[in-house]
Structure 1
Amino acid sequence: MFILALTYVKPNEEADRHMEPHMAWVKEGYARGSFLASGRKVPRTGGVILAVGERAEIEAYVAEDPFTVHGVAEYDITEVAVTTAVAGLEILKG
């Protein structure tokens, strides 16, 4: 499993200008079966996505995010070898 932590490097107003295409990109990540959960950080300084798949594929997909393309946010990608999960979240153990 991967934790994709994105941090805005431009003001929220700039993020808002690219939010619609970013959210289309997020929805496509779910459609592809790569994304499991996502949401904004509180306070709003970026967001977090839980993802599964191959690291190279995830890195390539992150490079296509409109937030990345337009320099709005930077990603920190952390791989986690999940060993224990509650019932229903076994997919995280990959």
Structure 2
Amino acid sequence: MLHLLSLHYTASEEAAEPFIPSHVAYLERHHEDGTFLVSGQTVPTSIGGVIIATGVDRLVIERITEQDPFVLNDVAEYTITTIAPGRMHPALTAVLAPEN
């Protein structure tokens, strides 16, 4: 499965600021383990950010998003959209191939 994680601030950017280092560490951990393929801020940044995740089911990705320091500190929340990839660019096949 592929998951589109939309992070939305529920507090001001200033309120989220103290949690940025721990949020970045959270992102790095999940990029290193291969779960997060892409992450970045939205434009404008005041909205939040987006993550594309793969390799885990919906329940696991829900648990992962609950561990984000922004969520733990009530400054943001996630909307999760799970996608069953049908067609994709050949360059992405190795990364997004359907799980067996």
Partner AA of 2:96 in structure 1: L
Query: What is the aligned partner in structure 2 of residue 92 from structure 1?
Result: 96
> Where in structure 2 are the equivalents of 1:55-74 lying within 5 Å?
55-74=58-77
Q: SS at the partner of 1:39?
A: strand
The TM-score with structure 2 as length reference comes to 0.88
Query: What is the aligned partner in structure 2 of residue 12 from structure 1?
Result: 13
Query: What is the aligned partner in structure 2 of residue 54 from structure 1?
Result: 57
Aligned residues: 94
Percent of paired sites with the same residue: 36
Cα distance in 2 between the residues matched to 1:22 and 1:68:
9
Unpaired segments of 5 or more residues in structure 1? Answer: none
**Cα displacement (A) at 1:27:** 0.4
Runs of 4 or more, structure 1, over 2 Å off, are 91-94
Query: What is the aligned partner in structure 2 of residue 82 from structure 1?
Result: 85
Query: What is the aligned partner in structure 2 of residue 43 from structure 1?
Result: 44
The TM-score with structure 1 as length reference comes to 0.93
Cα distance in 1 between the residues matched to 2:34 and 2:58:
14
Cα distance in 2 between the residues matched to 1:29 and 1:8:
20
Q: CA RMSD in A?
A: 1.0
